[in-house]
Amino acid sequence: MPISVICDNNSCRKSLKIKDEFAGKIVECPRCGGNIRVPDYHLQQQFLEAEENIASRVVEERLGAVLALKKLGDPFGLPLIYDRVADPAPVVADEALLALLEGKEAARPFLARFFQEEHDAVRRLMKVADKRRSAEALDFICTLVEENKLSEQYVSEMVPLFARIQNRRALPTLEAIRRRYPNLEQLVQAAIGRLEHPESGVATLYKGVRPLEKLGKLGCLPVLLALLAGGVALLVR
């Protein structure tokens, strides 16, 4: 496949198509006679892949260190784990944050430091809870909400998160949100519906139960069921 190049001479800048057999070599520009180095994209790709492999191994080593420190526990492990909360590799940073959350009371000072030093720490915590389905992260979030330590903006973002995680630990927290923020009533009610009826589609169907109950009280339900049965019979024919 031909390689596209442009002459390096500023007064020339001719565009050329060079055969790939000249990759990595120097050719002469047919217009100005200047030298043009033809890039070797295959070699560049190999170099990039080698860099990625090295970076991947380094990340694996840092992740392994966090897991080892987690087993070591307090007082030696937690300070070093905290240093990894800001790791550039998300997988390492998330694992370090989870390790702190699982450190219970011993890790509270480090978590307090994390919330003081980390920009948008609450959203980071929500992301870890959502991605890892961490009971510890969810419990910590619920505690923050119940102790009224978060703004309404954060709380409104957490309500859908509680519904997605499908952990009933969030139910008391959702009730507390409903009492404290009346304008979030509809959002909270939808989340509670999903937690109480986690089966697919039940939360939506639940909204239609009460009209059916009213029809039953009015004596119309048997008629409605008979009509539905008749429709099914016609379809079978």
pLDDT digits (tens, 9 = 90+) for 137-147: 888 888 888 88
134 falls within a domain: no
What's the domain count of the chain?
Answer: 1
Tell me what the mean pLDDT of segment 4-20 comes to.
84
Distances (CA, A) of 23 to 6, 14, 170: 14, 18, 61
Residue 100 lies inside a defined structural domain of this protein: yes
**Does the residue 229 lie in any domain?**
no
Q: Is residue 92 part of a domain?
A: yes
pLDDT in tens, 96-128: 998 888 887 888 888 888 988 888 888 898 998
Can you give the pLDDT at residue 148? Answer: 84
- Nearest CA-CA partner of 107 in 132, 133, 82, 131: 82
Residue 18 bridge partners (DSSP): 3
pLDDT one-digit tens code per residue, 166-214: 888 889 999 999 899 988 888 899 888 888 887 644 434 334 444 444 4
Longest CA–CA span in the chain (Å) reads: 97
Range of the domain at 106: 59-118
- Please compute Rg for the chain using Cα positions: 31
**76 belongs to a structural domain:** yes
Q: Per the domain annotation, does 199 fall within a domain?
A: no
Torsion of CA 101, 107, 113, 114, to 10 degrees: -20
Asked whether the whole model's pTM tops 0.75, one would answer no
SS3 content of the chain, % helix, strand, coil (to 5): 70, 5, 25
Residue 15 maps to a domain:
no
Does residue 30 form part of some domain?
no
